[in-house]
Amino acid sequence: MSIQSKKSTDKKVKATKKSIPAFEWKYAPAPESTDHIDIKPQYELFIGGKFVKPATSEYFETTNPANNKVLSSIAKAGASDVDKAVKAARKAYAQSWQKMPARERGKYLYRIARLIQERAREFAVIETLDGGKPIRESRDIDIPLAANHFFYYAGWADKLPYAFPNRKPMPLGVAGQIIPWNFPLLMAAWKIAPALATGNTVVLKPAETTPLTALKLAELIQEAGLPEGVVNVVTGFGDTGAALVNHASVDKIAFTGSTPVGKYIQKAIAGTGKKVTLELGGKAANIIFDDAPIDQAVEGIVNGIFFNQGHVCCAGSRLFVQENIASTVIAKLKRRMKTLVVGDPMDKNTDIGAINSAAQLKKIQHYIQLGQQEGAEIYQTDQALPDKGLFCKPTLFLGTSQSHRIVQEEIFGPVLTIQTFRTIEEVIEKANNIPYGLSAGVWTDKGSKIFNLSNRLRAGVVWANTYNKFDPASPFGGYKESGFGREGGLHGLYPYVQFEH
């Protein structure tokens, strides 16, 4: 291209930009199709390799939070169903899984991983329909990461002696695993893959609002030919989870969810000898220094809190900005928020999808009201929300202080509080002054600041110049009321093994 023609192209681009003001751009709808998915009108419990009716004869509905339409009827497992599932898992442990050569177990895990990849599109669409998260996230994050967790732990299955040199790792037995609604398939993969790789069998209890992908996974596991009873799925509410926690023949409980339920579980199993890992809430600090690349940091802030509607335990829900750049960062952040598309989760342009349940939306709205009562200044964009379904505008609270409840408590929605700071000491003190300690973010040009902060922030994960990045090879877990135990990586094997003395 000649210099002459390049100049004229630049001019044209400029002219076009001028005539279309940035925030009035509308994307044409780009909905993902649902032709290729199969959701049955009714799902039973997956026990001993078969789909079986619940002894309770009770079913509950799972809906699509973006339009409140019912997707399917789901079996409600009672204590006797949980007992049946635990017995099936115990039998499979004793008769097949524990005895099987480790490399054979690995082959099954590889097979599950590959089948998830093959059906990635179907899993992504069902995840979005059932939970409300944007299709872009379930397609690009949840499902590929779930497959990668199975691949990663498949690799460990026959290499455990290398993971624990000079020790003899042995499985624990039957693992009861209870998962939440924010990353349904991914949490199932985080729980099931390391348990199976180490020779344990599993009873999984998905969340009541998002059971579909776990049940699809059960179908896939059946197809992969896993020995009967190695993985069992019992659907239901809190009482189903409690029946699993209190079952005498469960050797280990792995739980991800709210801090109150985590505390309940810890009390319930005290003195029983059951092992436990808890991954609970969070209230992460995302810290921006004045030497940070500001535009990237603004993207990181947006990704940190508005990603998945803020339904993320490690969400960067407390923003700390160095005082001298606060006005620039806030202006850029507000400008970016205006471009976020809130709406139909099935549309590929959507940034912020539906809130998972009416109860969760009520909780978020309560905190938005509370923030205003506490005297913080609220900022929301003026874009309209869809008429139907459960939606919430991305929300910013300025002028907040450490003692505000919106700063101290987990909201689990697209709500960000902003505080400013002057010195490193001050921001470390403020960031750590919280009951939680799951994650944090640091944005700076200086490596030394990153090392200093990552050592002194009481958080299980500290991201530097990025946010909300996951990899099966890196461990994840919390401090303080965010729980204990690690999932992912080599560390994620520990909670599922014991050693000969």
- Binds Mg ion by CB under 5 A, chosen from 32, 44, 127, 130: 130
Taking the complex as a whole, how short is the minimal distance between the CB of residue 353 and ligand NAI, in angstroms? 16
Residue 241 touches ligand NAI, criterion: CB under 6 A: yes
Residue 110 touches ligand NAI, criterion: CB under 6 A: no
Instruction: Centre a 10 Å sphere on the Cβ of residue 72 and count the other Cβ atoms it contains.
Output: 20
Contact residues for 183 (Cβ-Cβ < 8 A; gap 6+): 142, 308
Quick check: is 425 catalytic? no
Question: Over 82-122, what HEC string results?
Answer: HHHHHHHHHHHHHHHHCCCCHHHHHHHHHHHHHHHHHCHHH
Taking the complex as a whole, how short is the minimal distance between the CB of residue 233 and Mg ion, in angstroms? 16
Residue 390 touches ligand NAI, criterion: CB under 6 A: no
Residue 259 touches Mg ion, criterion: CB under 5 A: no
Residue 356 touches Mg ion, criterion: CB under 5 A: no
User: CA-CA distance, 212 to 218, in Å (whole number)?
Assistant: 10
Stretch that binds ligand NAI, among 158-166, 214-222, 236-244, 269-277 (CB under 6 A): 236-244
- CB-count burial class (<10 Å; 0-12, 13-18, 19+) for 318: buried
Residue 251 touches ligand NAI, criterion: CB under 6 A: no
Q: Residue 204 or 220: which CB sits closer to ligand NAI?
A: 204
Q: Contacts with ligand NAI in 159-198 (CB under 6 A)?
A: 178-182
Quick check: is 313 catalytic? yes
Within its chain, how far is the Cα of 365 from the centroid?
A: 21
User: CA-CA distance, 112 to 217, in Å (whole number)?
Assistant: 9
Phi first, then psi: what are they for 426, rounded to 5°?
Answer: -60, -45
Question: Over 444-468, what HEC string results?
Answer: CCCHHHHHHHHHHCCCCEEEECCCC
Partner interacting with residue 62 (select from ligand NAI, Mg ion, none; CB below 5-8 Å by kind): Mg ion
Residue 62 touches Mg ion, criterion: CB under 5 A: yes
- Binds ligand NAI by CB under 6 A, chosen from 121, 363, 456, 491: 363
Taking the complex as a whole, how short is the minimal distance between the CB of residue 69 and Mg ion, in angstroms? 10
Contact residues for 339 (Cβ-Cβ < 8 A; gap 6+): 22, 23
Residue 308 touches Mg ion, criterion: CB under 5 A: no
Partner interacting with residue 410 (select from Mg ion, ligand NAI, none; CB below 5-8 Å by kind): ligand NAI
Q: Residue 321 in contact with residue 313, Cβ under 8 Å?
A: no
Q: Which of 44, 279, 481, 487 is catalytic?
A: 279
Residue 256 touches ligand NAI, criterion: CB under 6 A: yes
Q: Helices 120-131 and 212-223 sit at what angle, rounded to 10 degrees?
A: 160
Nearest residue to ligand NAI, by Cβ distance, number only: 241
Q: Which of 208, 313, 410, 487 is catalytic?
A: 313
Q: Residue 301 in contact with residue 466, Cβ under 8 Å?
A: no
Stretch that binds ligand NAI, among 72-80, 200-208, 329-337, 463-471 (CB under 6 A): 200-208
Instruction: Centre a 10 Å sphere on the Cβ of residue 53 and count the other Cβ atoms it contains.
Output: 12
Binding mask 203-222 for ligand NAI (x = CB under 6 A): --x-xx--------------
Instruction: Centre a 10 Å sphere on the Cβ of residue 226 and count the other Cβ atoms it contains.
Output: 23
Binding mask 432-451 for ligand NAI (x = CB under 6 A): --------------------
Binding mask 265-304 for ligand NAI (x = CB under 6 A): ---------------xx-----------------------
Residue 138 touches Mg ion, criterion: CB under 5 A: no
Can you say whether the dihedral through the CA atoms of 398, 477, 340, 16 is positive or negative?
Answer: positive
User: CA-CA distance, 443 to 300, in Å (whole number)?
Assistant: 9
Tell me how far CA of residue 343 lies from CA of 37, 134, 380, 410, in angstroms: 22, 9, 15, 24
Q: Contacts with ligand NAI in 29-88 (CB under 6 A)?
A: none
Size of residue set near ligand NAI by CB under 6 A: 25
Question: What residues does 43 pair with on adjacent strands?
Answer: 74
Q: Which residues are catalytic?
A: 279, 313
Residues that bind ligand NAI (CB under 6 A): 178-182, 205, 207-208, 237-238, 241-242, 245, 256-258, 261, 264, 280-281, 313, 360, 363, 410, 412
Residues that bind Mg ion (CB under 5 A): 62, 130, 209
